[in-house]
Chain A
Amino acid sequence: MTSKQTISKSAFWAGYRDCAPFILVAAPFAMLFGVAATELGMSLVQTMTMTVMVIAGAAQFTALILLQDHAPTLIVIITALAVNLRMAMYAAALVPYLGKASPGMKLLVAYFNMDQTFGLASTRYPVEPDWSVRDRFLYFVGAALSITPFWVTFSFIGAAFGAAIPPEFSLDFAMPICFIAIIAPALRSLPHILAAGASVICALAFSWIPFSLGLIIAAIIAMLVGAQAELWMEKRKK
């Protein structure tokens, strides 16, 4: 075995190991998604198709909530996709490291381009200057293959057995709790906190607007608040 192959193999397992702790978070999320989807009336096939094809927890939960509110189909899709827009930023940030990868590799990386895999890769790539494009690709895939099987399996468990959970467990509240678990740790700067606050206030103030359009307006305002707050803080620092 040449030393080059050795790096490739170890890059895959490094990704696999680095991503393993996230299984602890992904498993309960996935299970609660399965339960919530079943509660909404989605079939097992629908729930699993969504889990495998979308693999983006926050956007999947967003779609469920809006479907539950009887929002129009287009609004459901647009709002859930807006939740995923951050991944366009991830794709752009990967270009310096994976821009030279083959089209097939890029398709696979794109499919697995998630908060966890991107977060790990963007931390690891800069400190591994010896890695080839292939090593970087394998690291990414290793991380994804560590978490994804659990994501799919636990979603299935939730969907298949969720109906057996008695109502005393108030699983309706699992969805808000999951979202709080995504948002609260992400409030790491003042602009993030201001954006979140603006989002809540505007969404409640605009909740009378039909077709769940109030949420989209609230999100645009909150995004502008975050971006402006960031600009303002940068100017103050100078």
Chain B
Amino acid sequence: MTVDPTQIWIVIVGLAIGTFFIRWSFLGLLGDRELPEWALRHLRYTAVAILPGLIAPLILWPSATGGNTDPARLIAAIVAFGVGTWRKSAIATIFSGLITLYALQYLLA
């Protein structure tokens, strides 16, 4: 799978400049002005509003198995999610997911 290198460079530069501007925004440019409450209320949910929707198709229809639902990957994702919400730990989430995936792939093979 290859992507046009020019497109990649444009994305890198655009993302770098845009991200820096967001990080600097209110601190550097707007000084002491406070964000209105309604804006803060929406900003709080930006990450949690995008990331789950972004990965849901990758978990249900992984390209590694030709877009067909793969029981090992699906169960590993569910286990990782369960451990992550329960333990609130990123490391526990990653390891539980990968161990489940490898164990199931070994057992189902």
CA distance A226 to B45 in the complex (A): 6
**Residue of A46, A111, A182, A199 touching B23 (CB-CB under 8 A):** A111
A84-B80 in contact given A177-B98, A179-B51, A195-B48 (Cβ < 8 Å): no
**Residue of A28, A111, A170, A223 touching B42 (CB-CB under 8 A):** A223
Contacts of A54 in B (CB 8 A): 12, 15-16, 19
Interface residue tally for chain A (C-beta within 8 Å): 96
Kindly count the residue-residue contacts between A and B in the assembled complex, taking CB atoms under 8 Å apart: 291
**B23–A90 contact, CB under 8 A?**
yes
Contacts of B7 in A (CB 8 A): 67, 73
Contacts of A165 in B (CB 8 A): none
**B35–A82 contact, CB under 8 A?**
no
Question: A170: shortest Cβ distance to chain B, in Å?
Answer: 6
CA distance A177 to B77 in the complex (A): 7
**B15–A77 contact, CB under 8 A?**
yes
**B32–A77 contact, CB under 8 A?**
no
Query: Which residues in window 1-46 of B have CB below 8 A to A?
Result: 1-3, 5, 7-16, 18-20, 22-28, 30-32, 34-35, 38, 40-46
CA distance A43 to B6 in the complex (A): 12
A155 interface residue (CB < 8 Å to B): no
**Residue of A24, A95, A223 touching B91 (CB-CB under 8 A):** A24
**A195–B80 contact, CB under 8 A?**
no
**Which B residues are closer than 8 A to A by beta carbons?**
1-3, 5, 7-16, 18-20, 22-28, 30-32, 34-35, 38, 40-60, 62-64, 73, 76-77, 80-81, 83-85, 87-91, 93-94, 97-98, 101-102, 105
A-B contact pairs, 29 of them (CB 8 A): A40-B3, A41-B1, A46-B5, A50-B15, A60-B15, A63-B11, A68-B3, A77-B11, A77-B14, A80-B15, A83-B46, A88-B22, A88-B23, A91-B27, A173-B98, A173-B101, A177-B77, A177-B93, A182-B90, A185-B93, A186-B47, A200-B53, A203-B54, A215-B50, A222-B52, A226-B42, A226-B45, A226-B48, A227-B38
- Return the 9 tightest CB-CB contacts between A and B, nearest first: A184-B84, A203-B53, A226-B45, A110-B24, A222-B49, A53-B16, A92-B26, A181-B93, A199-B53
**Which A residues are closer than 8 A to B by beta carbons?**
24-25, 28-29, 39-43, 46, 49-50, 53-54, 56, 58-60, 62-63, 65, 67-68, 70, 73, 76-77, 79-92, 94-95, 98-99, 103, 106-107, 109-111, 113, 168-170, 172-188, 191-192, 195-200, 202-204, 207, 215, 218-220, 222-227, 230-231
